[in-house]
Structure 1
Amino acid sequence: MDAIEAAQGFSAMGSDSRLEVLQTLVRAGETGLRVGDIQQRTGITASTLAHHLKFLSAANLIVQRKQGRVIMSTANFDHLSALAGFILENCCIDAGETT
């Protein structure tokens, strides 16, 4: 993962509402949730939720798939793990240095 891709992912999480949606989907696990279920759990209005889901999807933080008439949203666990790895890959590397 490069810095630009990481910045896009972290930026997409920069809204409390989007972060709430993402955490709701993480809690739901691999099966994901229908849009109506996300709305019910978060209390976000339908039009606003649609905007947040589009933003999260564009940043590759969630995956949306159609199952018949229903759109299921799932957290993109691989991408979220890559983001965590990106931010932590150099953890503590300079801990022993003094200035």
Structure 2
Amino acid sequence: MEQKPLTLPELTRAATAFAALGSEQRLAIVRRLVRAGPTGLPMGALGADVGVTGSVLTHHLKQLVSAGLVEQWRDGRRILSRIDHDAVEALSAFLIEECCADHGGHLG
């Protein structure tokens, strides 16, 4: 069965997101932010929860923001981060969009 053709922007967006998730620390950050929900977490709490702080945390968050998986905003003096739920959902859909297409659409 022929695979659905993807546009270059779709492939680039997915590849960038998967590359950003290619670090244990960044994956831990994403998982923690998924648990936190839409209110997000301040940098200090996020770093303490995942065991990554300071410039290393900033570096990882910058990559996740650049990949479109995390959003950040200021609340007074605090910087908060939250998962971009739509982006993570789209990335998941990208993976399973053609699930089992070569097997008549059935798992197993």
> For this structure pair, what is the TM-score category when the shorter chain's length is used for normalisation?
over 0.9
* 1:9 is the counterpart of 2:42: no
Identity in percent: 44
Q: Structure 2: give runs of 5+ residues left out of the alignment.
A: 1-8
Runs of 4+ off more than 2 Å: none
Alignment TM-score, normalising by the size of structure 2: 0.85
TM-score normalised over the length of structure 1: 0.93
Cα separation, 2, equivalents of 1:17 and 1:64 = 18
Letter in 2 for 1:14: G
Structure 1 vs Structure 2 CA RMSD: 1.0
Which of 11, 16, 31 aligns to 2:39? It is 31
How many residue pairs match? The answer is: 96
- Residue matched to 1:54: 62
The answer on whether the counterparts of 2:44 and 2:53 sit within 8 Å (CA) in structure 1 is: no
